[in-house]
Amino acid sequence: MRELNAINDCRDAVAAMNASYSKDFQLKGKIVDAFSSMDSSYDLEKLSTLYQEEVKSPKALDCKTDPSGTTSKANTERATYDKQARTFERALTKNEANQN
């Protein structure tokens, strides 16, 4: 039963990692759109740097072989995607001075 719980926890971690990747990938698309439109209400210098950044596809992970190790890898990857997403979200905040 413990092994089954570990596999289920691992699958949940992998699903959460994939969801974070999906969000990150969508935000990267918004970065590309905002930079391409040259909308001066954004910090275009910051967008140009992030425009160059890549969102790496998640690795294929197998929960049956090493559930705890795979869970750890998935959590690490998820944290990386979440950190990159926060950076993208901050860059997509419009400059208040240009909104007035």
Q: What is the pLDDT of residue 65?
A: 86
Q: Is the pLDDT of residue 14 over 70?
A: yes
Distance CA 45, CA 19 (A): 28
Range of 9-18, 34-43, 46-55 with top mean pLDDT: 9-18
Q: Which tens digit of pLDDT belongs to each residue from 56-95?
A: 999 889 898 899 999 999 999 999 999 999 999 998 887 6
Distance CA 68, CA 37 (A): 45
Distance CA 38, CA 77 (A): 31
pTM: 0.83
Alpha-carbon 23 to chain mean position:
6
